[in-house]
Copies of this chain bind each other. A is one copy, B any other.
């Protein structure tokens, strides 16, 4: 069988463990060098393929590639760039195939969420039609945990662990201060469309913490929420609120959209956390503190879940093995076998079933009052945050995150206008 090169790219928001998937892809390709030549990585994701900015990963030492397992973010750069539909912009897809052909690329490993699964699917279809078939494999990645078929998505477990631990720690803090000072702590977490990440904050109830979740799935009703906060503070002395950035009113408006103006009359952008805090202050007068975790949560490699890390690597590896087995247009998945003890295996899904399908949080995971999670949700979440996988630190006390050389291969084609 002839030797082909592989293309690998990172897509969309990065995570604490997407580089572990990259490591899984590259190390496994290197183990099959008779079949797979070089792994060329897209600089800044798929844009790197369109621009023919292809990173020569053969220039990276085995040690540096291994260090990707311990390094958050996207080592080759990612991008928010969705290829248009085939009808709208066929030339982008054709350009991809042209670049793949010029660089003898026979394998396309695309590491991302729902949009990239769709792109991956189209590349596989079009390459065949164009007479240069490329095996297109989607490696799942998203902190949003919203890909279908797979039990969970790499990246989510580590964010969930970070949010659960951070919410627990901050709640201990508030409990210490509540007698004379802060009574309510509000933590804003990611999740524009689904409450998966906020749900992880609900786990701290198991540690005796009075916590209320504001999930995108449940319409925000101010009076009911204020009453719930009052009840928690009166019975426990304090309360923690974990609000999803996607929390919204019945009319669909996000809590974060308050139509506030600064002194110049400019619209003021704010997060959901300060809005929730202000509601509490005005309604109940409690002293509060609020935090917005933002990028801290998804890049927190220092507190990655060992389960998540292992799965991120395993899916990268599985993607390559599936390609070598002749598979095309698929995504390796996590199939859960049991909760206690947690056991899982690798499965696979056809990209035609993955593309453009969004998995939302089941309503059976949300408690009756809408402010918490159910036991079913707990049983789902805990295995995903199991185990600690710390990075190494240098003698100065900082983590040894690797920065790759990222040298580009020589271009062979004309410039492409994006």
Binding site for B on A (CB under 8 A): 10, 13-14, 16, 44-45, 47, 71-75, 77-81, 161, 164-166, 168-170, 172-177, 179-182, 185, 187, 203, 206-208, 258-263, 266, 268-271, 273-274, 277-278, 281-282, 289-296, 298-303, 305, 307, 382, 385-388, 390, 393, 395-399, 401, 403
Contacts and interface: CB of A to CB of B under 8 A. Distances in A.
A302 B299 contact: no
A60 B279 CA distance: 40
A278 B261 CA distance: 12
Contact of A13 (B165, B177, B290): B177
Contact of A177 (B78, B172, B289): B78
Contacts of A296: 166, 169-170, 187, 291, 293, 296
Most buried by B among A168, A203, A293, A296: A296
B298 A165 contact: no
- 7 closest A-B pairs by beta carbon, nearest first, are A73-B172, A74-B176, A291-B294, A385-B397, A44-B179, A169-B299, A170-B295
Contacts of A74: 176-177
Given A172-B299, A179-B44, A299-B173, A386 B382 contact: no
Contacts of A165: 302, 398-399
Contacts of A161: 397
Contact of A386 (B16, B207, B395): B395
24 contacts: A14-B177, A44-B180, A72-B173, A73-B169, A73-B172, A74-B177, A75-B176, A78-B176, A78-B177, A165-B302, A169-B301, A169-B401, A174-B295, A258-B268, A260-B261, A260-B263, A262-B278, A266-B282, A268-B274, A271-B292, A291-B292, A385-B396, A387-B397, A388-B390
Contacts of A403: 208
Of A81, A282, A294, A298, the most chain B CB neighbours within 10 A belong to A294
A269 B75 CA distance: 38
Contact of A263 (B185, B258, B401): B258
B295 A80 contact: no
B397 A382 contact: yes
Nearest to A291: B294
A390 B387 contact: no
B290 A175 contact: no
Contact of A293 (B173, B270, B291, B386): B291
Contact of A168 (B75, B173, B401): B401
A73 B395 contact: no
Contact of A397 (B174, B258, B386): B386
Contacts of A258: 262-263, 268
A22 to B, nearest CB: 12
Contact of A262 (B259, B386, B396, B399): B259
Given A176-B74, A403-B208, A292 B290 contact: yes
Interface-central residue, A165, A176, A282, A387, by most chain B CB under 10 Å: A176
Contacts of A13: 177
A395 B180 CA distance: 35
A176 B291 contact: no
Contacts of A274: 268-271, 274
Nearest to A278: B269
A16 B166 CA distance: 12
A292 B293 CA distance: 7
B303 A303 contact: yes
A396 B386 contact: yes
Nearest to A384: B397
A399 to B, nearest CB: 6
Q: Which of A78, A181, A289, A299 has the most CB of B within 10 A?
A: A299
A172 B401 contact: yes
A253 B298 CA distance: 33
